[in-house]
Chains A and B, each alone.
Chain A
Amino acid sequence: MFPDSEAIFDAHEFTDMKVLVVEDEKGLAESIVDYLSKEGFVCEVANTFWQADEKISLYQYDCTIVDLTLPDGDGFNIVQTLKKIAAATGIIIISARNTLEDKIKGLEIGSDDYMTKPFHLSELNARVKSLIRRRNFGGNNDMVWKEIRVQLPSRKVFIDEKDTVLSRKEYDLLLYFLSNIDVALTKEAIAEHLWGDHMDSSDSLDMVYSHIKNLRRKILEKGGKDYIQSIYGIGYKFTAP
């Protein structure tokens, strides 16, 4: 829209963004906090409903991750309160409840996303980032890393400023990598990100392999470096060589 004034962010675009994690399982909350902190987020934890209620009334967060089942209350109420007092906060529900009704209810009362447990931290990370981008920049900014630039609204990819045509899944895959730079991603996490969790066959892992091969080839063809590193037995990592 305004090419001159377009903000260009590097991988640390999320530094100092504040995230509240509402989760009663302490280990899981800790894992989420560790993972997101490495990505530059400033994280706080609430283990109970009342702690969460207090924190959201005192502080401003860019994103809140809410578990629905809390020992002393219902996560849905936190979502409702947040919508009332801090409408700018992005909300992601994480819950073991996987019924369609719960998902619809969650989205209806104002959460931006709904993830069912167990989920991949890399997926949560990607969704938190995408949510903040949408909320803060209306999704109008570019994602830039080294010689790779992704124009989010038009879904265009430039390598070394050269227009690179990617298939829909290759584009999704690149974006997932760019949201999880320097992070080892399992093949299963990638497959789930691309096709959802109904594809639980070995075929989907083959497909991950072939998409990665294509993406790597296309980046190399346009003069980019090979950033996709295979990790034996586990998956892949997008990192500077």
Chain B
Amino acid sequence: MKLLEKTSRIYLLASLVIYVAVGIAFYWITTFMIYDEVESRLMVEKRDFESYLQTNNTWTNNSYFVENKIEVVPVFGEFENEATFTDTLIYNRYEESMDPFRQLTFYTMIGGSPYRVAIRKSIVESYKLIEAISAAMITFLALLMVGMFFFQRNLSGKLWRPFYGSLARIKDFDWTRNNKLEFESSEISEFNELNEVMVKMASKMQHDYKSLREFTENASHEIQTPLALINARVEQFIQSQDLSENQTHWIEEIYHAARRMSRLNQGLLLLAKIENQQFTEQESIDLAALIIARLKDFEDIITHKNITIHTETKGSFVKKMSPALAEIMVTNLVSNAIKHNYTDGKLTILTGNNFFVLSNTGHELKADPERLFERFKKESAQAESVGLGLAIVKQICDNYELHIDYRNVDSLHSIRVFA
């Protein structure tokens, strides 16, 4: 939920509650005032009635008039001599409706016998007044609420504008580039503080990225150059005619060790670069097509090992990722499926909607399949293998939120990559 929406909702809910409470209170107060007024007038009429009795000592019921109706009824038996106010409805013979009345009931002696006297006063006018007041109040409060709602919405929008500006800049910020993160200064000090913190963090990120990038470049140069020297010297050394069998063996070992070290270094640096997200270029890549294309590079070895290739396409797997990393991922997987395959073995490539599976025949796994994608997990004792191929594939998958798993189905090693 957006911030503005959230504040609007809270505002609306709170003002609705207050509105209802104010409405109820107002209604209650008005009613109370009206009753109070009517009752005090009824008390005045009671006094008038009593003084009339004192002078005349008699009363004739004249029930023709609706208003100011005084009803005198003789009472027999016991009664409690007290005055009470009650609400009652009287039939209005002209409007054919029941009208509300306030009634004061008390007892008095007329000509020596007790009578119950009820004086009534219509409050229909008062109800009309309440209705009119209520309607006016509802209209004004509603207008006020709507007005306040738009005012606060507008105000919040204005107040938070620098925040949204900063947010957009942070979203656009790319730490792999040299452009500094910059903000416009705002009147609100909290936003300025936030911006300052963000600028500090961003420049730290850029600095870390840059230094790791430089490190991978330097490490690559500093390690590969001496290895190139070892390689070159070994090549020169083997040109001499008079090498003993032992010397040949040693020199071969030096050569292989240097090659392995170079591969290891390249593999580890590649992992570091992938982790550091140095491959920023992105393209939509059809991974199924890429696998088929990469298979061509392995044509010779596939023919040599007489591996039967079976491809099945059920859908497309297009992923937005770095073309270089897509190549590395696919090449490593294909190379792996061929390297660990038997002569006369099989390789099945199944591609579908957002997944592909490479299945190959091969020796049973010695290691725990769970740890297959860890670094330095070697299946073969081959001197040239450094055990980083699948770790690199895993790291690439992690970077692009792809999943990878291994299964052994019908003694086929299956590696599945899916989105």
Contact = CB atoms under 8 A, between A and B. Distances in A.
A25 interface: yes
Interface stretch (B144-152, B251-259, B352-360): B251-259
Interface in A72-88: none
A1 B263 CA distance: 45
A207 B298 CA distance: 12
A200 B263 contact: yes
B238 interface: yes
A231 interface: yes
A200 B382 CA distance: 10
Contacts of B384: 200-202
A46 to B, nearest CB: 16
Q: How large is the interface on A (under 10, 10 to 19, 20 to 34, 35 or more residues)?
A: 35 or more
Contact of B324 (A32, A100, A118): A100
Contacts of A31: 229, 232-233, 235-236
Contacts of B266: 98
Interface string B380-393: 00101100000000
Nearest to A115: B228
A183 interface: yes
Interface string A118-133: 1111100000000000
A171 interface: no
A43 to B, nearest CB: 14
Name the 8 nearest CB pairs between A and B, nearest first: A96-B224, A31-B232, A118-B228, A117-B228, A96-B221, A118-B231, A117-B224, A201-B339
B229 A27 contact: yes
Nearest to B334: A198
B203 interface: no
B201 to A, nearest CB: 28
Contacts of A98: 220, 266
A117 B225 contact: yes
Interface in A132-174: 169
A51 interface: no
B29 to A, nearest CB: 80
Contacts of B301: 195, 199, 201, 203-204, 207
B268 interface: no
Interface residues of B, number: 45
Contact of A28 (B220, B232, B338, B339): B232
A203 B337 CA distance: 13
Contact of B300 (A100, A119, A169, A234): A169
Interface string B217-248: 10011111111111111011011000001001
A34 B239 CA distance: 12
A35 B228 contact: no
A210 interface: yes
B200 interface: no
A62 interface: no
A188 B228 CA distance: 14
A34 B238 contact: no
A186 B252 CA distance: 9
B335 interface: yes
A232 B220 contact: no
Contacts of A202: 382, 384
A146 to B, nearest CB: 21
Interface in A204-227: 204, 206-207, 210
B224 to A, nearest CB: 4
Interface of A: 25, 27-28, 31-32, 34-35, 69, 94-100, 116-122, 169, 183-184, 186, 188-189, 194-196, 198-204, 206-207, 210, 231-234
Contact of B331 (A34, A198, A204): A198
23 contacts: A31-B232, A94-B228, A95-B221, A96-B225, A99-B273, A100-B324, A117-B225, A118-B231, A118-B232, A119-B228, A119-B231, A184-B235, A184-B238, A198-B297, A198-B331, A199-B298, A200-B385, A201-B382, A203-B301, A203-B304, A232-B245, A232-B248, A233-B249
B229 A25 contact: yes
A166 to B, nearest CB: 14
A198 B300 contact: no
Given A27-B229, A203-B304, A120 B224 contact: no
Contact of A97 (B220, B223, B230, B233): B220
Interface in B21-68: none
A233 B248 contact: yes
Contacts of B331: 198
A35 B230 CA distance: 14
B166 interface: no
A186 B254 CA distance: 13
B262 interface: yes
B207 interface: no
